[in-house]
Amino acid sequence: MNLEKMSDEEKLTLCRKYYIGGFFALPFLWAINAVWFGKEVFFKPEFEGQARMRSYVIQSAIGAVLWIAGLMAWNIIFQQNRASWGATADYISFVIPQGIA
């Protein structure tokens, strides 16, 4: 998708859709929103709707960072405690490793 061919109103609409989509457990949409539209709101000349778009981009970036931090924390905790959690950890695992490292 080429953002340069889109009007400012279409960009705002797409940015808003990605922002709302991130609330449906799709944090990668927030990350995409922050990356794609970051240049549009911080480095381009002022246009109508840019303030709302900037708000969407900043909130999307914060949401994506929080999601990534949460997933990383869960992964570290689970990897360190999987063996001690016994059967509970096996039930929530997709792949059950053999033995204890």
For residue 96, is pLDDT > 70? no
Q: Average pLDDT of the chain?
A: 89
pTM of the full predicted structure? 0.80
pLDDT tens, position by position, 28-62: 999 999 999 998 899 988 888 899 999 999 999 99
Stretch 8-13: mean pLDDT, rounded?
91
C-alpha dist (Å) from residue 81 to 30, 42, 90, 99: 30, 43, 11, 14
Greater model confidence, 44 or 74: 74
Please state, in angstroms and rounded to a whole number, the distance separating the CA atoms of residues 43 and 41: 6
- What are 21's two structure tokens? 């989509």
